[in-house]
Amino acid sequence: MLVALDAPYVDTRAADLSLALGGPERPALHMRELTLPGGLRLRLRLLGASHQVICGDLTETVACLPGGPPHLPDALHDETAGYRFTATVLRPAGDGLRTRVAALRAELADDPYALVGVFPGDEDAVTALAVRPAPPDGSVAWRTWHAYPQTNELVLTETVVEL
């Protein structure tokens, strides 16, 4: 699902993002509720140039969070909770960001398990989330993309949760 957002794009740097697990639901610009095969419910929430995914008791937020220094780990694996998270920050050369964002928008536009928010004023200012509807048995997985054209950064995250 492709959504034109009416909120202004917040110019930030990917390095300012943090990962938070738990915590409150934050105000969302747009939300999509999904029921996956097997009955699992997820909420994909666009918070602006950030996201929140709610899966059962788990709340994952990747955003510019107040109250502490930014920290977006390259990887976090909590075996006890069955949670795996990875993040990569890309700085594509030349027109690479525009090309990647165009391909992402085309790929996810009609995906029933995706939500793509495009900010006014720059079609490359995108926050996107996509759930994999058929991950390995006993798990759920999602990917996110945060495109920052002003700084030529694309943040990719992937999460896998064992159910």
Q: Tell me the per-residue pLDDT of 35-81, one tens digit each, with 9 for 90 and over.
A: 887 788 999 999 877 899 999 899 999 988 877 788 899 999 999 99
- 7 has pLDDT over 80: no
pLDDT band at 14 (very low <50, low <70, confident <90, very high): low
User: Cβ(6)–Cβ(28) under 8 Å?
Assistant: no
> Which tens digits make up the pLDDT trace of 91-109?
999 999 999 999 999 999 9
Q: What percent of the chain has pLDDT over 70?
A: 89
In b/e form, how buried is each residue of 26-57, taking b as 16+ CB within 10 angstroms?
Answer: bebbbebebebeeeeebbbbbbbbbbbbbbee
d(CA 70, CA 62): 10
Instruction: Check residue 119 and give its pLDDT.
Output: 83
Give the tens place of pLDDT for each residue, 93-151.
Answer: 999 999 999 999 999 999 999 999 988 888 898 999 999 877 667 899 999 999 999 88
Q: How far is CA 119 from CA 41, 49, 92, 127, in A?
A: 27, 9, 20, 9
Q: State the CB neighbour count (10 A cutoff) for residue 89.
A: 17
